[in-house]
Amino acid sequence: MTSLQIAPVRKTLVVQATAHKAFEVFTAGIDRWWPKTHGSRSSSPSWGGRWYSRHADGAEAVVGHVLVWEPARRFVCSWEISADWKPDARAVFASEVEVRFVPEGPGTTRVELEHRKFERMAAPGSAKMRNDVDGGWVKILELFAEEISREGSRT
């Protein structure tokens, strides 16, 4: 029996910040740059064993759980969102997001994002999710890079 393999989504950008600072802004500072709107509800992603959004109405939605936490190097989280963009508590079907912070030189870091294991989701949702996040991560990383730039201009 063969299983369907779906190629991971990989995105890379270089920011003017140390790996420590880039990790800090991506994680602890995520509420400053992550999109605040999703439909008609505002959200602020937070960390602490789980990745969740708190919406304007006070409701929380779990995006995933932290699987690996290596400050200034990388983190890996499950992505517990269904193909119709709703929280999906069946973590066995979760894809994964890994973000690595690789020093490139003095004050410069390459940020490598990989969203993988889409095949855990049932078809056709797996292909839909991969397609959706392929473009979505570009926009998310642009917002992150803008926040890094703002941080640099404040120092």
Token pair for 65: 């759980």
Listed range (4-8, 66-70, 133-137, 143-147) with the worst mean pLDDT: 4-8
Q: Say which amino acid occupies 68.
A: V
Count structural domains, the chain.
Answer: 1
Is residue 148 assigned to a domain? yes
Average pLDDT over every residue of 68-77: 95
The pLDDT of residue 22 is: 97
Is residue 104 assigned to a domain? yes
- State the residue range of the domain holding 140: 10-34+66-154
- What is the model's pLDDT at position 87? 79
- Is residue 59 within 8 Å of residue 52, measured between CB atoms? no
* Secondary structure, 3-state, 112-140: EEEEECHHHCCCCHHHHHHHHHHHHHHHH
Residue 45 is assigned to a structural domain of this protein: no
Which of 126, 97, 127 minimizes the C-alpha distance to 112? Answer: 97
Nearest-angstrom CA–CA distance, 16 and 79: 28
pLDDT in tens, 75-115: 999 998 888 888 776 666 789 999 999 999 999 999 999 99
Domain assignment present for residue 94? The answer is yes
Q: How many residues does the chain have?
A: 155
pLDDT digits (tens, 9 = 90+) for 2-55: 567 889 999 999 999 999 999 999 998 888 888 866 443 445 556 668 787 777
Do the domain assignments include residue 39? Answer: no
Residue 100 within a domain: yes
- Over residues 142-152, the pLDDT tens digits come to 999 999 999 87
Residue 54: inside a domain: no
CATH assignment of the domain containing 146: 3.30.530.20
The per-residue pLDDT for 49 is 82
pLDDT score of 77: 92
What per-residue confidence (pLDDT) applies to 3?
Answer: 64
DSSP structure class, residue 87: B
Q: What is the pLDDT of residue 88?
A: 76
pLDDT over threshold 90, residue 124: no
pTM, whole model, 2 decimals? 0.87
